[in-house]
Amino acid sequence: MDVKDSNGNTLREGDSVSVIKDLKVKGTSVTLKRGTVIKNIHLTDDEELIECRVDKVKGLVLRTEFLKKA
């Protein structure tokens, strides 16, 4: 499985990524601001999704189209 970010770079388990646009997290009052760096990502079975942890939100699933490799 080949997981790619918004720029076409290959993502691997444990990489760091940054958010390319402001994202509101459903079910919380948290908004991930553009440029937020997320460390130690976890790849899922779906090529378009990754799992990660951000400050107050654990088990967050993000689409790779909103991320770029840091």
Asked if 5 and 11 count as a contact pair (C-beta separation under 8 A), the reply is: yes
Domain-located, residue 1: no
Supply the pLDDT for residue 13.
96
| Span 39-54, average pLDDT | 95
What is the domain extent for residue 30?
A: 17-69
Q: pTM of this prediction?
A: 0.88
| Span 52-70, average pLDDT | 93
Total of domains in the chain: 1
CATH number of domain containing 41? 2.30.30.40
Supply the pLDDT for residue 51.
96
For residue 44, the number of C-alpha atoms closer than 13 Å in the C-beta half-sphere is 13
Q: Is the pLDDT score of 39 beyond 90?
A: yes
Supply the pLDDT for residue 66.
97
Beta strand segments in the chain, E: 17-19, 23-24, 31-32, 37-38, 42-43, 49-54, 57-63, 67-69
Residue 3's pLDDT band, with cuts at 50, 70 and 90, is very high
Whole-angstrom Cα distance, residue 55 to residue 58? 8
